[in-house]
């Protein structure tokens, strides 16, 4: 069989296009998978000179229209001034993939709800502003999910993840070259 150079190049080009189409796929991470990973990572305890806080019992919600995710957690606060309170906080943010550690993180965190029992309702807005500055960074520094190399699909995603998209019950990772 005598194949000329142009035919060889054409066959090579067609095979590359076909392999690219075959390799491009989506991997879904269900809300339950992400919730299990959050359950494994929390509680988080932080100790500072003027206060300590604990975040526990996370509840994940995927916000498709906004392309954000929301995490509601129990919060326990103790201050050096003698105040101690329990309540809940809800933070939402955009999902970002960080290739260096194969993890999903929250960017642009916003405290959308905060309630601490025993705190006067008039002080809640000021506390929410303070929480935006103090608590939101705790969410950005902790991965929401880390891709595992023991899972073949997640191993592929580690190398080929192009973008993330939030659906009502799953985060979809688009793969490609």
* DSSP per residue, 101-157: TTEEEEEEEEEEEEEETTS-GGGHHHHHHHHHHHTHHHHHTS-SEE--TTSHHHHHH
Q: Tell me the residue ranges of DSSP E strands in 35-83.
A: 44-47, 51-63, 68-79
Domain holding 140: CATH number?
Answer: 3.15.10.40
Residue 67, in any domain of the structure: yes
Residue 112, in any domain of the structure: yes
What pTM, to 2 d.p., does this model score? 0.79
The continuous run of DSSP H or E covering 128 comes out as helix 124-134
Q: Which phi and psi angles does 119 have, rounded to 5°? A: -100, 135
Could you list the residue range(s) of the whole structural domain that residue 168 is in? 25-175
What confidence tens digit (pLDDT) does each residue in 39-74 have? 999 998 988 888 888 999 999 999 999 999 999 999
What confidence tens digit (pLDDT) does each residue in 87-117 have? 999 999 999 999 999 999 999 999 999 899 9
């Amino acid at each position: 069989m005598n194949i000329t150079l142009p035919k060889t190049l054409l066959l090579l080009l067609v095979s590359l296009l076909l392999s690219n189409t075959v390799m491009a796929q989506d991997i879904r991470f269900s809300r339950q998978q992400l919730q299990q990973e959050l359950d494994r990572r929390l509680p988080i305890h932080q100790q500072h000179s003027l206060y300590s806080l604990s975040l526990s019992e996370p509840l994940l919600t995927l916000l498709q229209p906004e392309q954000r995710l929301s995490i509601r957690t129990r919060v326990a606060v103790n201050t050096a001034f003698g105040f101690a309170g329990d309540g809940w906080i809800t933070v939402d943010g955009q999902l970002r993939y960080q290739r260096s550690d194969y993890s999903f993180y929250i960017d642009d965190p916003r405290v959308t709800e905060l309630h601490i029992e025993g705190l006067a309702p008039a002080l809640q807005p000021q506390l929410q502003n303070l929480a935006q500055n103090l608590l939101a960074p705790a969410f950005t520094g902790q991965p929401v999910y880390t891709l595992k190399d023991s899972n073949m699909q997640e191993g592929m995603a580690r190398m080929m993840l192009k973008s993330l998209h939030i659906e009502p019950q799953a985060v979809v990772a688009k793969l490609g070259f």
